[in-house]
Every structure is written in structure tokens, then in C-alpha cells.
Chains A and B, each alone.
Chain A
Amino acid sequence: MATYSTNEFKSGLKVMLDNDPAVIVENEFVKPGKGQAFNRVKIRNLKTGRTIERTFKSGDTIEAADVMDVEMQYLYSDGEFWHFMNPESYEQLAADKAVVGDNAKWLKEQDVCQLTLFNGVPIAVEPPNTVTLKIVETDPGLKGDTSGGGGKPATLETGAVVRVPLFVQIGETIKVNTRTGEYLSRA
């Protein structure tokens, strides 16, 4: 099994921590002039998304995690699994609810998502930063109000609910930032 020494630590490095794959977010080298050196590391568990602090003695080694990010096209959901396909190899992978989590509400068929694979199995699904989705339900709003000041909730074709300006209506497609959940513009 491949290992990394503390000298190889840098942000983005994928390692095994407490039997889970994790990514180093921040690495600080601390050392008293005459004493033992340490690496103080902020590290994010790729399964839970939680970031924790860990300290290693400089020179310690840590197991590498077989983790990679791949771009895959979202195909469909059968209710239990979300199915994705590698557009080059046509290889298909399925991710369950625990992996897709809240991001399910941004997944639109044929959109290209980033899947994080651990030992070949998906552990995280990231939708595109911006998605274009159709509004399936929203209050028609007050006629003539185009200021967009107040805003109103709108349900999108994937089930996501976002605040949109009053002038946006059912049947229109809009762009949404999936990281913040905010309306960006009409598509």
C-alpha cells in the first residue's frame, strides 16, 4: 500500500484517516528550534464531509487513499440509486442516497457531475456549479411587479426549491448556483 510521509503533505493530498478516505485541506509545519517537529493538519473526511484537526510527528507516514475525481454524466434515478456514465468509456456507476445526499435535488439528466471514487466506488457526487432547470411551480405573483425586490419560492423540475424574482413564471428555465442555492438569471 502506498504511503505518504509528512514531507509530502500538501492541500489536496488524499489519505486514509481512521479507515476513511480524507483530503488534506491545510498543512502547517511547527517546530521548536531545538525540539520535535510536528505537522498540524486540517483534514476533511471525504465520506462525512467533516473537517478536523490532526497533528503528526514530522517523519510519520500515513496511508494513501485510492481516491480520484472523475467527470460522469448523470443518466437517471431508479428511486434507490442514481446512475452515472463515463462519457468516454461508457462505464456506468450507481450511487445511493447516502452518497448523493442533498445534491440529488440538483441532478438533471445528462448533466456532467464530478464523482469522487474511493477504491472505484462513488463516495461523493458534486453537481455542476451552475445548473439550468425549469420552474414547475411558483406563485404567479402580482401582475406588473417587475422590480424583483421581494422574491418568491419556486419549485424546479428536480424538486429543488429556490427563491426567484417575482417576474419569473412557471414554465421558464432559470440558472441556479448549486453551491449557494441562489437564483442567478433566466436561462
Chain B
Amino acid sequence: MNTGASGDWQPAATLEVLKLRARLLERTRAFFQARDVLEVETPILSAATSPEPHIESFHTIYVGPGFGRGKKLYLQPSPEFAMKRLLAAGSGPIYQIGKVFRNNEAGRLHNPEFTMLEWYRPGFDHHALMGEVEELVTTLLGDRARRTKTEKLSYAEAFEQHAGIDPHAAREEDFAACAKKFLVRAPDTMTPHHLDDWRDLILTHVVEPQLGKDRLTFIYDYPATQASFARIRPGSPPLASRFELYLSGMELANGFHELTDSDEQELRLRHQSLERKHHETGSVPIDERLLAALAAGLPDCSGVALGFDRLVIQAADAHSIDGVIAFPIDRA
């Protein structure tokens, strides 16, 4: 990161990369236009936000007509909730390319403000949507994404293949032994109560670097505890109809066969909200408008969010997100 003052006015990305970025945006829009998917825009400033445990929203205070004393508004970490309201209102297939904001995230592959491509497909399950994600990404990246046939692994298969562990059955001591075997020194603050932290540790340190080598790798069927807003299929273990896309060890997209049961959705939101209270980050208001929309009826659909900056990283062979953004946070 450049911290010197003198050169800071200049863009971090080269003009060549910025032109490539513009071309990729054009081709993305053409892809969806050809498929009759409607481009939409939803608010960046919103009264509610996602209560998901590992997502921190920025907020600001709106003062103006009707809100003389100020109203807290959240900068959206994802356009998901608003887009679901459009779906419930009968929009049909929709996509959006827009800025999203996540506090507490900065690094080689993270900028607190980034560009998300998100789209929803009524009538698709998560496997059908994975197919469309593959088509889009290979259209945009060409040979980079299809040197070898696209790989599809269940979450369990990915862990078994690359870490030699069953992520659904493993207990804390099993994850700890696995970390040790791969020379990963686990943080001292890990606890047996949060097995998903252990899964994330093994995923990020051991499994992810092996995914998407010269091809696209989809991971699907996540532990029910990581369902977020995906539907859960009962069974042993119960599995969430959720997927992620990887290329060159980098997470590019996350998708769900969306939960449409509004009661279940409300339970999850309230549970997440409650969980947040135990964190220092505090609770956030429940999006009652989302719940009302779901109660009115969300069509059976799948949705996916793709980190557009990361797609540009792949297309440009850049080392970091700073290389594909005109003004990353330390120059913003």
C-alpha cells in the first residue's frame, strides 16, 4: 500500500486495466441483455441491513425533510434484500452491477468498497445457476477459465480431497489435528463452540489454495450452519443449497437456491441478529420490508453474487485488488 502523500492522487490501476474493466462491464451487460435479464438499481443507503455474523455494515446519519433528528442508514453490504423485494413484486429475472460496502475488510483481495455483480433466476435451482455462472465467466475470461473442464465438488468432497477430513462429522480435535498436519498454527482464540470457525480456518489455509487451478471449481452443498439465506435440505447431515466459485484459489462468487419460506427466513434473521448481540459489533435492525415481501411470496429462484473486481484481477492477471481499482481505500 502506498502511504506517501505525493503520488497518492494517481490511480492505483493502470489505464490499460481500467479499459479492460470497462470492456468486461460492457460484455457482462450484453450477456444479460441477450438473455432477457433486466438490469436494476437498488438503494445503497437503506434503513436495514444484513445481520449475517461475519458482515459489518457501514452506517451514516441522514438528516433532512422528515428526519430532522437524523435517521441511521446503512450502506448496503449486498443488494440481496432489495433485489428479493423486486422478485417478490414480480420483476422476473434481474441483475445488478453496483457498489457494496463492508467494514473491517481490507487486504490483498479485499477493499471495503467494491463492485458486486448480483443476479437472480426464477425457476433455477443452484445447479442450473452454476451452469449460467460458468457460461458468464468463460465468456468474460475465455481460456483463463477453461483450460480444463470445470470441476464440481461438494463441500465434503473438497475437504476430503484436499485436507483429508470430513467437514460435517469432524469435531474440534479433528480440525486441530488437521491444521497441525498442514503446518497451520490455529489461533489461540478458537473454541469448540464455533466449528464453523474451524471449517473456515481449514478452508482458507488448506483447501482454497488447491481450488480452481487452471479451471473453474464450484463447491456446493454447504453445512446447514453456513446456509445464510439458502434453503436447507433435510438429511444426515442436512445440507444448504449454496455454492461458491473458485479460480486460482480465489473465491469469485457465492450463490444460493434461495430460501422462500418467510417464517424460516424470519427465524434465521432473528437468530443472526441475536448472535450479533454477543459480538462487539452489535445488533442491526431486522429488515421488516424484506420479511413482508417474502410473506407476499418470493418466487422459487436462485441467486448469485460475484465479486466483479476479482473477475478483473483474473482477466488482468493482477496481483491484488488494488491493481484493478482506480482509487482503493488508501487513495480514496
The B-contacting residues of A in range 14-57, CB under 8 angstroms, are 28-38, 40, 52-57
- Against A, the Cβ 8 Å flags (1 = close, 0 = not) of B171-186 are 0000000000001111
Cβ B110 vs Cβ A36 within 8 A? no
Cβ B54 vs Cβ A37 within 8 A? yes
Among A28, A33, A38, A54, point to the contact of B201 (Cβ < 8 A).
A38
Cβ B107 vs Cβ A32 within 8 A? no
A58 within 8 A of partner (CB): yes
A60 within 8 A of partner (CB): yes
B52 within 8 A of partner (CB): yes
Across chains A and B, the number of contacting residue pairs, with CB separation under 8 Å, is 77
Chain A, interface residues (CB within 8 Å), range? 20 to 34
Among A29, A40, A57, point to the contact of B189 (Cβ < 8 A).
A57
* Closest residue of A by beta carbon distance from B252: A33
Cβ A58 vs Cβ B104 within 8 A? yes
Given contacts A7-B104, A55-B205, A57-B190, contact A33 B185 (CB under 8 A): no
Cβ A55 vs Cβ B197 within 8 A? no
* Closest residue of B by beta carbon distance from A56: B187
Cβ B54 vs Cβ A36 within 8 A? yes
Residues of A within 8 A of B110 (CB): 29, 31
Cβ A60 vs Cβ B254 within 8 A? no
Cβ A33 vs Cβ B244 within 8 A? yes
- For the complex, give the distance between the alpha carbons of A57 and B187 in Å: 6
Cβ A60 vs Cβ B189 within 8 A? yes
Cβ A29 vs Cβ B186 within 8 A? no
Residues of A within 8 A of B224 (CB): none
**Shortest Cβ distance from A94 into chain B, in angstroms?**
35
Cβ B185 vs Cβ A32 within 8 A? no
- For the complex, give the distance between the alpha carbons of A53 and B183 in Å: 9
- For the complex, give the distance between the alpha carbons of A36 and B197 in Å: 6
Among A7, A32, A53, point to the contact of B204 (Cβ < 8 A).
A32
* Closest residue of B by beta carbon distance from A29: B107
**Shortest Cβ distance from A56 into chain B, in angstroms?**
5
Residues of A within 8 A of B305 (CB): 33
- For the complex, give the distance between the alpha carbons of A54 and B189 in Å: 13
Q: List 22 A-B contacts (CB under 8 A).
A: A29-B110, A30-B109, A31-B204, A32-B200, A33-B251, A33-B305, A34-B52, A34-B55, A35-B54, A35-B226, A36-B196, A36-B197, A38-B187, A38-B200, A53-B184, A55-B185, A55-B186, A55-B205, A56-B189, A57-B189, A58-B104, A60-B187
Q: B residues bordering A, Cβ < 8 Å?
A: 52, 54-55, 104-110, 183-190, 194, 196-197, 199-201, 203-205, 226, 228, 244, 251, 254, 280, 305, 307
Given contacts A37-B104, A55-B201, A55-B205, 20 further A-B contacts (CB under 8 A): A29-B105, A29-B108, A29-B110, A30-B204, A31-B105, A31-B107, A32-B251, A33-B254, A35-B200, A36-B54, A36-B196, A37-B54, A38-B187, A38-B200, A38-B204, A40-B205, A54-B185, A57-B187, A60-B187, A60-B189
